[in-house]
Amino acid sequence: MEKIILIFQREYLTRVRKKSFVIMTLLAPLLMAAFIVVPVMLSQISSNQKVVAVADEGNIFAGELPTDPSNDLRYEAVPAQLDAAKAAFKKGKYAALLYIPRYDMAEPKGFRIFSKENLSLNTQISLERLINRQIEAARMRQAGLDKATLDKIKADVDLETINLSDDGEKTSSTGVTTGIAYLCAFLIYMFIFIYGVQIMRGVIEEKTNRIVEVVISSVKPFQLMMGKVLGIAAVGLTQLLLWVILSTAVTTGLASVFGAEKVVAARTGQLQQATAPQAGTVAAGTSTPAASTVTATTAKEKENPAVKIQQSFVAGLASINLPLIIGAFLFYFLGGYLFYGALFGAIGSAVDNETDTQQFMLPVTMPLILTFVIAQSVIIRDPNGTVATWMSMIPFTSPIAMMMRLPFGGVPGWQLLLSMALLILGFLLTIWVAARIYRVGILMYGKKVTYGELSKWMFYKA
pLDDT 10s digits, 381-411 = 888 888 889 999 999 999 999 988 888 877 8
The average pLDDT across 285-300 equals 38
For the ranges 73-82, 125-134, 213-222, 416-425, which has the lowest average pLDDT?
Answer: 213-222
Asked if residue 243 lies in contact with residue 27, where contact means CB atoms within 8 angstroms, the answer is: no
DSSP string, 7-49: HHHHHHHHHHTSHHHHHHHHHHHHHHHHHHHHHHHHHHHT-SP
Q: What is the pLDDT of residues 411-453, one digit of tens each?
A: 888 999 999 999 999 888 888 888 777 777 777 766 677 777 7
- Which residues make up the CATH 3.40.190.10 domain(s) of the chain? 49-150
Cα–Cα distance, 195 to 197 (Å, whole number): 5
What's the confidence (pLDDT) of residue 58?
82
pLDDT number for residue 290: 36
Which CA distances in Å does 315 have to 38, 163, 312, 403, 428?
A: 28, 11, 5, 20, 40
pTM (2 d.p.): 0.63
Q: What is the pLDDT of residues 144-156, one digit of tens each?
A: 777 777 777 777 6
Rounded mean pLDDT, 359-375: 85
For 173-203, the pLDDT digits (tens) are 677 788 888 888 888 888 888 888 888 887 7
Taking phi over 0 as left and psi of -120 to 50 as alpha, with beta for the rest, 136 belongs to: alpha
Give me the mean pLDDT over the 123-147 stretch.
Answer: 82
Spell out the alpha helix ranges (H) of 375-412: 386-391, 398-405
> Do residues 96 and 127 touch, judged by C-beta distance below 8 A?
yes
Q: Which of 85-94, 177-186, 208-217, 358-367 has the lowest mean pLDDT?
A: 208-217
What pLDDT does 171 receive? 57
Q: Quick check: 184 and 176 in contact, CB under 8 A?
A: no
**Which whole-number Å values give the CA distances from 50 to 71, 97, 118, 420, in the listed order?**
9, 11, 14, 58
Least confident of 102-106, 151-155, 202-206, 377-381: 151-155
Cα gap 37→35, rounded to integer Å = 6
Q: What angle do CA 240, 382, 385 make, to 5 degrees?
A: 105
The CATH number fitting domain 49-150, selected from 3.10.350.10, 3.40.190.10, 3.30.559.10, 3.30.565.10? 3.40.190.10
What local confidence, expressed as pLDDT, does residue 417 receive?
93
Question: pLDDT tens digit string along 13-71?
Answer: 888 888 888 888 888 777 777 776 777 666 666 556 778 888 888 888 877 787 765 56
pLDDT at position 106 over 50: yes
List, in order, residues 6 or more apart from 296 with CB less than 8 Å away.
287
